[in-house]
Amino acid sequence: MAALPLQEVTVTQLKGVGQALADRLARLGIHHLQDLLLHLPLRYEDRTRISPLGSLRVGSTAVIEGEVVNSHLGQGRRRSLLVRLRDATGSVGLRFFHFSASMKQQLQPGLRLRCYGEARPGASGLEFYHPEFQVLRDDLPPPPLEQQLTPVYPVTEGLQQKRLRQLVAQALDFLEQRPLDELLPASLLDQTHLQGLRSWSVNQALRYLHYPDCQADLEALAAGQHPAQKRLALEELLAQQLGMLLLRQKTREESAPPLTKSAGLLEQQLREGLPFALTGAQERVLAEINRDLTDPHPMLRLVQGDVGSGKTLVAALAALKALANGYQAALMAPTELLAEQHYHNLTAWLQPLGIQVDWLAGKMKGKQRQTALEQLALGETQLLVGTHALFQEEVVFSRLALVIIDEQHRFGVHQRLALRNKGGSEGLLPHQLVMTATPIPRTLAMSAYADLDVSVIDELPPGRKPVTTLALPDSRRPEVIARLRHACQEGRQAYWVCPLIEESEVLECQAAEVTCQELQEALPELKVALVHGRMKPADKGRIMQAFKEGEYQLLVATTVIEVGVDVPNASLMIIDNAERLGLAQLHQLRGRVGRGSTASFCTLIYHPPLSSQGRERLQAMRESSDGFYIAQKDLEIRGPGELLGTRQTGEIELRLANLKRDAHLLEGLRPLGERLLEEQPLLARQLLARWRGDSLRFSQV
Ligand code: ADP
Ligand code: MG
């Protein structure tokens, strides 16, 4: 084993590691010494110096020394032993809820202690609960302090911090003998925004992060902003990029039904039935999709388009191509409300062409469900619309060729992958079309969606009047209500959105109910309806449909209507507590109006005083209704993580990098990754192996 590189030396080679411990380490994803080295501390403890008691603040974590002044049993709800410790600068309490008689006996006045713990506000002033402590003996020199910061690692049951530290220390000794290869291409670090990382090698960074010196910038470390951390994060992000690119390559190598026939007559009929023509952007994106669909390999395409850009129609036309080739298509939406709306639209467009559209929701039971599933399996249903329910195992298609996923940010990669198995008997995978209204700046999209091709519908249908946006303090509510009355009397319709005020859906719904009552009382002549997230989907759907048909003039809602709901006659959007919402959400909500030909208004009601971020958000909303501008502002105000929605969590497992915090590192990684796969496949493999190890989940895909 002497010559093996650390990624091949198993942990059992370490002193004191038998099978049982190796199994525990495996639970942390640690199999080889390299994994152990990449198992980085969550945080650090500073045990390098003794803090004077008088300098402690609430929350200080510190080593302290002092003499026991007294010790007694504390009163209060839980019995505890309270020991008073004093030095020249002050005193603190040490509180123990678990203690033995001998411990009580030992902690007598005059005894000198060294402790480590966190200062909290207690009944007797600052107190350390259950500090680690050792007795200092007068006849011996005090034990030495640590020379470096002490790492605190993620651990698992049966594996103690101390044990893990010893193992990592052993691994670091190995590292001295056999440093890891430098895998980052030098050209990457030449970029100006990364020059600060040039002085760090992977080996130095690892060593430093396990044992930073006592002058280390703890704040930077805690925030993940230390150059040593960024150096490793960059490498990991590159590896992740490679993983996604590889996933995409693999998918491309699989087979899908080539949809070579054009939708011809059906498409012509559909187009002729529309009261409008497709925009240039819709045509362009549709052509991109159609080109992919003729391929005998699965399409993986993301369509980004601002709210109201007409993504649904593009999806319908893509589906039509699948159907014209004798296959089935599925369209999936994130909520029942949306799925139902799509079902209505698609039925209206496609049924006249003789196409069988059906609908499947999780709540569907019994006979109805049975029939839907049977018709699908027989191939009678040509287009199935629904929610997550489409992923379920019993849902069997006869010839599925295209899966369309709307509002992608709510679904994960894994859910998308689950649909692959529904391609039918020929061993073919369906093509995938993913649609999202979340406008993500291009470089970010390229990296975050490296496994997808991206098309952008960058044009709104003509004749859309920009939505006039106002921000008003709560004190001007009566004016808003008066304007609302006036507009509704002229035949227009309005939304009144009550966003989350408390962290609870129940409370949010109650707030919407109260607002609804108040508005109904203030506007007795109007027909007011309410939708919220706790209503049955069928009831929600019914109210939305009635609103769409003009039965109600005012719809009070929680943010359930955020995504996708389309009622062209609604031209007023009032958002209560607007300062509490993020820009992306505000933009989505505003996108519900401005869909018809009348001038639309969006009123943002806020409660002063505004935070500076709140003010910037409302300002950005007033400045522009362009989703990409808003996204750019959002990026500036909040940082990139939020824009990526759920994609940042879970599904992309990163050990150390964080897409949100480290988004600035993503720049240029995708083209670099593509180049590496092409020109230096061995290096690419090494990078992947280092960071993804044997947990390279995408390799099964
Ligand atoms: P989104 O991209 O937000 O999903 P939708 O697909 O819901 O947008 O479309 C918004 C509205 O615009 C719908 O009423 C749709 O019928 C209409 N629409 C779509 N394409 C066009 C077009 N080319 N010209 C005019 N209206 C269109
Ligand atoms: Mg939509």
* DSSP of 304-342: EE-TTS-HHHHHHHHHHHHHHTT-EEEEE-SSHHHHHHH
Atom number, ligand 1, closest to the C-alpha of residue 312? 6
**What are the structural domain ranges in the chain?**
49-145, 181-253+668-701, 264-457, 467-624
Element (H, E) at 457: strand 453-457
Nearest residue (by CA) to ligand 1, atom 23, is: 278
Low-confidence ranges of the chain (pLDDT < 70): 1-3, 408-421, 423-426, 438-448, 500-509, 562-564, 635, 638-653, 660, 693-701
Rg (CA), the chain: 31
Please say whether the dihedral angle defined by the alpha carbons of residues 446, 451, 453 and 455, taken in this order, is positive or negative: negative
Collapsed DSSP state (helix, strand, coil) of residue 586? helix
Q: Ligand 1: which of 276, 598, 625 to mutate, most ligand atoms within 8 Å of CB?
A: 276
Q: What is the pLDDT of residues 555-582, one digit of tens each?
A: 999 877 765 577 888 999 999 989 888 8
Q: What is the pLDDT of residue 525?
A: 93
Q: What is the pLDDT of residue 448?
A: 67
Fold of 49-145: OB fold (Dihydrolipoamide Acetyltransferase, E2P) (2.40.50)
Q: What does the alpha-carbon distance between residue 619 and residue 471 come to, in Å, rounded to a whole number?
A: 8
Evaluate whether 264-457 and 467-624 have a shared fold.
Answer: yes
Q: What is the pLDDT of residues 370-410, one digit of tens each?
A: 999 999 999 999 999 998 888 788 888 999 999 999 876 55
Instruction: Say yes or no: domain 467-624 is CATH 3.40.50.300.
Output: yes
Ligand minimally distant from the alpha carbon of residue 314: 1
Q: What is the pLDDT of residue 392?
A: 81
Q: What does the alpha-carbon distance between residue 143 and residue 131 come to, in Å, rounded to a whole number?
A: 17
Q: What does the alpha-carbon distance between residue 51 and residue 359 come to, in Å, rounded to a whole number?
A: 67
Q: What is the pLDDT of residues 259-269, one digit of tens each?
A: 999 998 999 99
> Which ranges of 274-423 would DSSP assign to H, the alpha helix?
280-293, 311-324, 336-350, 366-378, 413-418
The answer to whether the CB of 582 is under 6 A from ligand 1 is no
Range 347-367 burial, b when 16+ CB lie within 10 A, else e? bebbeebebbbbbbbeebeee
Ligand 2 center–CA 403 separation, angstroms: 15
Element (H, E) at 472: strand 468-473
The answer to whether the CB of 630 is under 6 A from ligand 1 is no
Please, which contacts does 240-243 make with residues 24 or more away whose CB atoms are closer than 8 Å?
A: 240/652, 240/654, 240/657, 240/691, 240/692, 241/447, 241/450, 241/669, 241/670, 241/672, 241/673, 242/673, 242/676, 242/677, 242/684, 242/687, 242/688, 243/688, 243/692, 243/696, 243/698
Q: Which residues touch 176 (CB under 8 Å, ≥6 apart)?
A: none
Atom number, ligand 1, closest to the C-alpha of residue 591? 3
The answer to whether the CB of 276 is under 6 A from ligand 1 is yes
Nearest residue (by CA) to ligand 1, atom 26, is: 461
Nearest residue (by CA) to ligand 1, atom 12, is: 310
The answer to whether the CB of 310 is under 6 A from ligand 1 is yes
Atom number, ligand 1, closest to the C-alpha of residue 274? 16
Q: What is the pLDDT of residue 243?
A: 85
Ligand 2 center–CA 178 separation, angstroms: 55
Q: What is the pLDDT of residue 661?
A: 76
Q: Which residues surround ligand 2, an ion (CB under 5 A)?
A: 564
Q: Ligand 1: which of 303, 313, 436 to mutate, most ligand atoms within 8 Å of CB?
A: 313
Q: Ligand 1: which of 286, 595, 597 to mutate, most ligand atoms within 8 Å of CB?
A: 595
Q: What is the pLDDT of residue 508?
A: 66
Q: What is the pLDDT of residues 102-139, one digit of tens each?
A: 999 999 999 999 999 999 998 889 999 999 999 999 89
- Give this prediction's pTM: 0.69
Q: Ligand 1: which of 337, 457, 566, 567 to mutate, most ligand atoms within 8 Å of CB?
A: 566
Instruction: Say yes or no: domain 264-457 is CATH 3.30.70.20.
Output: no
Element (H, E) at 385: strand 383-386
The answer to whether the CB of 282 is under 6 A from ligand 1 is yes
The 10 Å Cβ neighbour count of residue 575 is 26
